[in-house]
Structure 1
Amino acid sequence: MVGQGISPRAALESTGGNTSPDAPSWDLGDLYAGREDPAIATTLGEAATAAGELAARFKGKIATANGDELAKLVEAYEAIEEKLGRVMSFAGLLFAAQRDDTAVSRFYATCQEKVSDIETGLLFVTLELNKIEDDEYAAALASSSALARYRPWLDQVRAFRPHQLDDEIERVLHEKHVTGRAAWNRLFDETMAGLRFPYEGKELSSQEIFDLLSNHDRETRRKASEAVGHVLGRNVKLMARITNTLAKDKQIEDGWRHFARPISSRNLANQVEDEVVAALISAVREAYPRLSHRYYALKAKWMGLDKLHTWDRNAPLPEDVDRRRSWDDARLTVLDAYRRFSPEIARILSDFFERGWIDADVREGKDSGAFCHSTVPSVHPYVLMNYQGKPRDIMTLAHELGHGVHQVLAGRQGYLLAGTPLTLAETASVFGEQLTFEAMLAKETDPAQRRVLLASKIEDKINTVVRQIAFSEFERQVHDRRKEGELTPEELGEIWMGVQKESLGPIFEFDAPYQHFWSYIPHFIHVPFYVYAYAFGDCLVSSLYAVFQEKPEGFQEKYLALLAAGGTKGHKELLAPFGLDASDPAFWSKGLAVTEQLIQRLEDELEAAGLARSAA
């Protein structure tokens, strides 16, 4: 569970450049005072000793232990995992904020190695738990209330029972992770952090160059896009090697574990059935013409263009005056939006601002995206983002703080039970965005800026749903074709261009350098098949928000209970109090219809203002 809760959402649309001077940097002191803090060595030493004692007491004996003995095992295991999670949370957050610092990178790698060594000694716990026969497992749960508390975690561990390998193979896979997948991940991160993009005689960071892709001047956007494409193209062989290696690595392990499809292991970890995910992906792809194709055709008319280029996708709209808002304004906007929904949530989020739990300043070498890391229940989450004062940045802040409140409330379940599957991890974040959007729209009195806000929300939803499903389709094709042999950079580019053309629609023209843009998406490297969780969460929240609007009485209590449940319940049980069921095919149509309604609303307002005729 080390690192669970990271949601690098904005890395998909990374931006940077102009920043608010009062945007804060975080204080990681609640974890450790610094890299040289002796408490780090103490924590690792205590974890290693406890792991040795646990192995001496239980290794080889779990299958014959009674319920109360198993409860003591799990409790001790949880305590050790929390210690290791604390160390890796600190190291990971430090590395995210300073990816170009070699000393920090070395510290991060060293912590990974030490934690991996201790984790290797704990592998027997889950391996032996899965060797307990079903009837004996049921009897143990029935005999011990202490053990029954951990049933959701135990059930999730045992869900992988059919895919578990021999103990020695599992040990080798675990030990080699640091020099295998983790090493390739680190190579990707350090390479991306070190890229510089030539632009008008300057060498810009990724934050600075991607910010220019949303510049008002079209020529600026074109030149910035060419610079990105050129630099990514110059590095595409390395990125193709990383992608091919990790895809093959996954293929080999999936084959050993007998997973039906490359996405199946992710679905199992997300506690969602293959057919439910397939229904989501199918519904979104079928909706491309009604969502992205329709909206971008409308945007082209609004901009007075016959065709859009890829560098126009995130272009400011004609009426957008590019107002930059201070960090304090963003703080008040988000807190007020959450407070109107739930004063309790606002109280929780106040701590993020007042206690240094947010890093929003833009700096060289810093992760170019955004995430909220849950760390461990005994501490608190931390948010990282790059704040530049745009309305979209305020939405990103609302999104990541939604993760934060979810993690704080779920943390009360304890380390093993706090974590939610990715499909539910986006619930609070997307809901928080919706609350903030509605609050900003209600405050805006200028009709032109209301239209800009509405369009910005539509674009965010398209990026969250359509773009992520296109990413998921890219991954599917890459992993399927990798079975036939290594993919060349050109073949990877062809797959990328194919899914982009399908998802964005005929209004777009695609220049050759855009074929390299797949190579900067971190999700493909770090968490294969992660991306559909964004679409899952957005559609889920759209349906949930509709329930809130229809029946607000008592909704807040049920919503807080959903968040506080953490990983103790699956999506069916959590959604039942709201009358929703993600296994119902109509569920996805209901969620997608919300975005269609927003597009229709924007079309109506533009027509009323005489700015664009209907694109329906």
Structure 2
Amino acid sequence: MRIAPPAPVFDANASAGGALGDLPEWDLSDLYAAPDAPEIARDMDWLEQECTAFAADFEGKLAGLDAVGMLACVERYEAIDRVAGRIMSYAGLRYYQNTMDASRAKFLSDCQDRITAATTPLVFFSLEFNRIADSAYEAVITADPALTRYKPVFDRMRAMRPYQLSDELEKFLHDQSVVGASAWNKLFDETVAGLGFEVGDEALGIEGTLNLLTDPDRTKREAAARALAEVFGANIKLFARVHNTLAKEKEIEDRWRKMPTPQTGRHLSNHVEPEVVEALRNAVVAAYPKLSHRYYALKAKWLGLDKLQVWDRNAPLPIEEPKTVGWDAAKATVMEAYSEFSPKMAEIAQPFFDKGWIDAGVKPGKAPGAFAHPTVTDVHPYVMLNYLGKPRDVMTLAHELGHGVHQVLAAGQGELLASTPLTLAETASVFGEMLTFRKLLAGATTPAQKKTLLAGKVEDMINTVVRQIAFYDFECKLHEARRGGELTPEDINEIWMSVQGESLGPVFEFMPGYETFWAYVPHFVHSPFYVYAYAFGDGLVNALYAVYEESGPGFQDKYFDMLKAGGSKHHKELLAPFGLDASDPAFWDKGLSMISGFIDELEAMED
């Protein structure tokens, strides 16, 4: 049940200033016209009444329902989920437009409080459903095709059977959630959005400061990195408190549920086997020397440095001409790449630009980074960017628009089946990036242009694969260490540094203060262990793109069928039409070989 707002995702590649053109803003009226719109009061009242009625009609009776009765029950549950999701999408998106606006924060909290209270009577549903005997479940769920289509949802729900608590404890956790993790999430969001950084003569927010890490001027990059370190250091006790509290809360709940590892809940929600994730993680870590270590050694050579500092990691190449990409040019680039793959893909993407489905500009108080939120299946997704004209911002647009296309296509599955596990949710976004990159590369007219594009893509892939697996290792170590007691800021700093040197390689030196750079990463707070989904998606898309290059015209239809499936199929079923299998350890080596191949090309340019 949707009682939490959409979570923002950082992309540290926005830039500052420039004549970017007319940047679009969200029109949220497709959800509700205003926070005081009568439709919100109407829907909230209906929600409260329907949740009570649902419990009265079905609590204690699920095991005795026939297929007709069970279908009616599921459809009513789905309708409740849709209305709750609509309200929380509106409140959450409006809040992320300006997290420093107290009235927006209050509106979000009030909605969350009321919906949490309203949906408490529904807690029985999953608990009671999971107590239905396997034979009875199979008999009823397969008796009617209209009900059978929901089987993937309930199979995933029943995977939680070994870990569910008593009805009373589950209701307590549901009620308590508004002052638990979600409250700490809001504290984190508001703290990060309110941070100020003095860089030279400029007073910047976090987006503008992170953007300077890609500036051609090395002194500006260094000044930005040191400003980040100073401000993170000044707030490190608060960030450590957030992480300590959330990790301990998770440890307590996992212990009560008898979850074997801190990662188990994420694997279950992602519908992915632990051994598949472990194979991915091991393949990436084993590839560090031929990926990040090798690439950054090349980059040091290009920059004329014996050692790289952290502010050099995303520096442009010396041969790269500073470039600001206006909004219209960014739109044209992405839409042309999408259209060349399939006119249908561009057709699905077009309304995002025309109908107020994108909020692109950087504004005071706006959540940093970028995300695509599907809202509910009878409305449409919304995309948030912090667009400031860097070439990498074009790739972010391609990425988030890919999510949006995926979400539009999956909406046909309905509210319970549209949501895609995180491991597959990155497929369309990374594929959209790859299409855009390949179009730009094909249009390169000089060796310098090709080298710049290849280097930029390799850096993006390293950030998506190597960096995110390093993040995953950091989280694994953090949660394991927290089980042994309270962690000081220095303890967390030490865990962070233990994965940074390993992943980035021996060419890096780390300035004093870099040990605090874990503090601003929102995934650790909002979605523990989310980050491996990025590496999963990148590896999957690399393999998928190789199939596309070798396939005939039928690939597009199979690709759209995969996106339309939403969360209705396991990754094995979705990838089988392409001859791919993510449970095969060799699968990940195929994906990583594409990154290695790009680095081979860059090395060849040195000869």
Identify the TM-score tier after normalising by the shorter chain.
over 0.9
Matched ranges for 1:448-597 at <5 A: 448-597=448-597
Matched ranges for 1:192-591 at <5 A: 192-591=192-591
| Kept after mapping to 2: 8 A contact 1:28/1:90 | yes
| Kept after mapping to 2: 8 A contact 1:184/1:242 | yes
SS at match of 1:383: strand
Partner residue of 1:124? Answer: 124
| Kept after mapping to 1: 8 A contact 2:4/2:182 | no
In structure 1, give the amino acid aligned to 2:524. Answer: F
CA distance in 2, matches of 1:495, 1:88: 35
CA distance in 1, matches of 2:200, 2:259: 50
In structure 1, give the amino acid aligned to 2:73. Answer: L
CA distance in 1, matches of 2:352, 2:145: 36
What is the CA deviation profile of residues 232-288 of structure 1, one whole-angstrom value per residue up to 9, with x for unaligned ones? 000000000000000000001111111111111100110000111011001100100
- 1:12 to partner: Cα distance: 4.5
CA distance in 1, matches of 2:396, 2:82: 28
SS at match of 1:70: helix
The sequence identity of aligned pairs, in percent, is 54
Partner residue of 1:115? Answer: 115
183-192 vs 316-325, which moves further: 316-325
| Kept after mapping to 2: 8 A contact 1:16/1:362 | no
- 1:384 to partner: Cα distance: 0.2
| Kept after mapping to 2: 8 A contact 1:4/1:419 | no
SS at match of 1:379: coil
- 1:18 to partner: Cα distance: 1.8
What is the CA deviation profile of residues 473-505 of structure 1, one whole-angstrom value per residue up to 9, with x for unaligned ones? 000000001111111100100111110100000
SS at match of 2:365: coil
| Kept after mapping to 1: 8 A contact 2:5/2:92 | no
In structure 1, give the amino acid aligned to 2:241. Answer: R
SS at match of 2:203: strand
SS at match of 1:363: coil
539-548 vs 18-27, which moves further: 18-27
- 1:7 to partner: Cα distance: 7.3
Partner residue of 1:612? Answer: none
CA distance in 1, matches of 2:519, 2:36: 35
195-204 vs 101-110, which moves further: 195-204
Number of residue equivalences = 606
CA distance in 2, matches of 1:374, 1:161: 28
In structure 1, give the amino acid aligned to 2:74. Answer: V
317-326 vs 585-594, which moves further: 317-326
Q: What RMSD, in angstroms, separates the aligned Cα atoms of the two structures?
A: 1.3
- 1:508 to partner: Cα distance: 0.3
CA distance in 1, matches of 2:583, 2:5: 24
- 1:5 to partner: Cα distance: 11
SS at match of 1:13: coil
CA distance in 2, matches of 1:449, 1:142: 57
592 and 450 in structure 1: CA distance in 2 versus 1, 3 angstrom threshold: same
- 1:453 to partner: Cα distance: 1.0
SS at match of 2:346: helix
CA distance in 2, matches of 1:17, 1:368: 13
**Length-normalised TM-score, structure 1:** 0.97
CA distance in 1, matches of 2:108, 2:4: 16
Structure 2: state its 5+ residue gaps: none
- 1:202 to partner: Cα distance: 3.5
CA distance in 2, matches of 1:509, 1:362: 32
In structure 2, give the amino acid aligned to 1:13. Answer: A
| Kept after mapping to 2: 8 A contact 1:380/1:408 | yes
CA distance in 2, matches of 1:563, 1:380: 15
CA distance in 1, matches of 2:453, 2:8: 23
| Kept after mapping to 2: 8 A contact 1:14/1:368 | no
- 1:17 to partner: Cα distance: 2.1
CA distance in 1, matches of 2:337, 2:237: 46
Matched ranges for 1:72-87 at <5 A: 72-87=72-87
| Kept after mapping to 2: 8 A contact 1:300/1:306 | yes
Partner residue of 2:144? Answer: 144
| Kept after mapping to 2: 8 A contact 1:47/1:84 | yes
What is the CA deviation profile of residues 346-387 of structure 1, one whole-angstrom value per residue up to 9, with x for unaligned ones? 101001001110001111111110000000010000000111
SS at match of 1:417: coil
392 and 292 in structure 1: CA distance in 2 versus 1, 3 angstrom threshold: same
In structure 2, give the amino acid aligned to 1:513. Answer: G
**Length-normalised TM-score, structure 2:** 0.98
